[in-house]
Structure 1
Amino acid sequence: MALSLALAIPVPVSAQVSTPFAAPIKQGYWWYAPQPKATKPEQPDPDALVRPVIPPMAELAGWTPPKIRKLIEQQRDYAATVLTVDAVADFWRLQDFARRKARAFAGVTQIAMLQHPELNSKSANPMVGDARAELTAYKDQVRRSYLRAHAQEFALVMFSRSTCGYCRVQWPIVQRFQDEMGWQVTLMDIDRRPELGQRFGVEVTPTTMLIRRGSQQRMVIAAGVETYPNLAQMAYQAVRLLSGDIRPEQFMTGAGEEDGFFDALANGPVSASDPRAQAREMLGGDLVDLPAGPK
């Protein structure tokens, strides 16, 4: 009876005796199977020496220029590494193909320029000496007439210092502008009147500034020594901008070049943003009222 009762009572697992024929039972939080470490696939060496595959010229003719340039660079690096006659010759064959490709593009370009003269600058900028002299005289006449017509509306101020040697070179140039255009010009020494330099934000001398009478509009047209033709051209462009005759995109349009090859807005807008806001900020907030489109 006692033996049967003993067989009926369950024995705890910890009290069970393992036999050499059975694997030990592992239970609990700390018993787990380690995960195998993931191995990264080997990446090819980008600097490894690989001989480029050069296709036939007929196939190469259909490649885009960036793709051809990449092949030439690869062949150059390969040839410079192995230094064999065949590898170097292949590199120069590719260079010769690129040269002939560029030559062909230039040839077709000349035909396109002849068939579409509006895309050719020669119609607006002749290279012949006599024609260029005529063009220069015409531009000078247009610029002079425009600036003389605005002589009572604008003036020039040149900021200088008593120790500035360059100012002594620039001042006669500004005086010549006065003689030829009939403008009033003024010399301001910011050593004697430093408050003027602070008021107008002048740090470099000589600085030549165009000022519109009876308003707060002003614009620097020369910082440092500037030649007379450049000074006259910058004054012409500044007056046209401040007067609302041009937009900021047309600031590099020279005298007599309006609506032509060198006019940025001759064929319509070229910017996604409104440059009038930038001009207002540059020239003094809401002091400038520019037109919405070309003149």
Structure 2
Amino acid sequence: MNGGRFALGLSLLLAASAAAAQTARAEREARTGYWWYQAPPKPVEKAEDPEALVKPAIPPMAELATWTPPKIRKLIEQQRDYAATVLTVDAVSDFWRLQDFARRKARAFAGVTQIAMLQHPELNAKSANPMVGDARDQLSAYKNDVRRQYLRGHAQEFALVMFSRSTCGYCRVQWPIVQRFQEEMGWQVTLMDIDRRPELAQRFGVEITPTTMIIRRGSQQRMVIASGVEAYPNLIQMAYQAVRLLAGDIRPEQFMTGAGEEDGFFDALANGPVSATDPRALGGDLVGASVEPRP
């Protein structure tokens, strides 16, 4: 009898525990959601296929005229890819309409550019580089005279060295050109055979022959002006630019500024500094602007 009562009591206890657990679970589930500050799960988004075929939306030409060139180019590329995929007459025609718009846009820009060049001749290369034959001949003669006078005026300050090898056939071609430079400019010219003196190749960083180098006397400054065979007019031009750079008459940014072109259209620094390394960009003085001596 007592055993039956015990079993019955145990069954009731287990049933009560199960009911309590179920109630607690229901309460926990009821507490989830917005009011208990638990964000609802985000819906699973399907990843968009970047290669999916989408027909570009082409705006009216009046609106297209207000777009920037990069935006127009992107639309043209999208229409091109779409047209090449579907291969319909309408799609291909739309592509070429966009191309025609871009062509007319470029033509309009060129037209306005011509007007701007006429109104502002300082922006036009023709003011410093005439296209007419006689004028070009006179300009070339003037530049040659400027270069020659400058190089002759620095003959005692600089020297020319040509590095060669006894087995170098090109060296035999370059050496008479270098000797002509000596005769016309009055410079000291030296031929160095690095087969006989291999330490010179390491000292001056010479790897190929012929190598023609300008050396500033009494200093460590030097600069290669020709690697291989170089024509005489080019040798004069490079020597002129190198001497001006080593002498501090120009900055590296002006290395392509030719004779007589200072402060003109072809002078990169005519209207002020163009690089962050220029002392004038920071309000400093143009001191120590020449090339640093090589170690």
- Aligned-pair CA distance for 1:243: 1.2
SS, match of residue 112 in structure 1: helix
Q: What residue is the counterpart of 2:14 in the other structure?
A: 17
Which amino acid is the alignment partner of residue 284 of structure 1? R
Name the structure with the higher helix share. Answer: 2
Does the aligned pair in 2 maintain the 1:210–1:221 contact within 8 Å?
A: yes
Asked if 1:284 corresponds to 2:294, the answer is yes
The separation in 1 between residues aligned to 2:71 and 2:239, in whole angstroms, is: 48
Q: Out of 241, 247, 262, which is 2:266 matched to? A: 262
Q: What residue is the counterpart of 1:289 in the other structure?
A: none
> Please, what TM-score do these two structures have when normalized by structure 2?
0.83
SS, match of residue 187 in structure 1: strand
Of 78-87 and 267-276, more deviation after overlay is shown by 267-276
The separation in 2 between residues aligned to 1:111 and 1:60, in whole angstroms, is: 24
Show the 5 A alignment for 1:177-256.
177-256=181-260
- Aligned-pair CA distance for 1:158: 0.3
Which amino acid is the alignment partner of residue 225 of structure 1? V
SS, match of residue 17 in structure 1: helix
Q: Out of 77, 80, 84, which is 1:73 matched to? A: 77
Show the 5 A alignment for 1:1-295.
16-18=13-15, 22=19, 40-274=44-278, 280-281=291-292, 283-284=293-294
The separation in 2 between residues aligned to 1:240 and 1:229, in whole angstroms, is: 17
The separation in 2 between residues aligned to 1:52 and 1:38, in whole angstroms, is: 30
Does the aligned pair in 2 maintain the 1:166–1:206 contact within 8 Å?
A: yes
Does the aligned pair in 2 maintain the 1:18–1:24 contact within 8 Å?
A: no
> For the aligned residues, what is the CA RMSD?
3.0
SS, match of residue 146 in structure 1: helix
Does the aligned pair in 1 maintain the 2:250–2:290 contact within 8 Å?
A: no
Identity across aligned pairs (percent)? 80
Does the aligned pair in 2 maintain the 1:147–1:181 contact within 8 Å?
A: yes
CA, structure 1 residues 177+213, in 2 after alignment: closer, same or farther (shift >3 Å)? same
Which amino acid is the alignment partner of residue 185 of structure 2? M
Of 70-79 and 262-271, more deviation after overlay is shown by 262-271
Return 5+ residue gaps in structure 2 as ranges: 25-39, 280-286
Which amino acid is the alignment partner of residue 243 of structure 1? A
SS, match of residue 147 in structure 1: helix
Return 5+ residue gaps in structure 1 as ranges: 28-35, 286-295
CA, structure 1 residues 26+195, in 2 after alignment: closer, same or farther (shift >3 Å)? farther
- Aligned-pair CA distance for 1:22: 3.9
The separation in 1 between residues aligned to 2:112 and 2:101, in whole angstroms, is: 17
- Aligned-pair CA distance for 1:18: 3.2
CA, structure 1 residues 62+79, in 2 after alignment: closer, same or farther (shift >3 Å)? same
Aligned residues: 270
SS, match of residue 189 in structure 2: strand
The separation in 1 between residues aligned to 2:12 and 2:157, in whole angstroms, is: 112
Which amino acid is the alignment partner of residue 129 of structure 2? N
- Aligned-pair CA distance for 1:16: 3.9
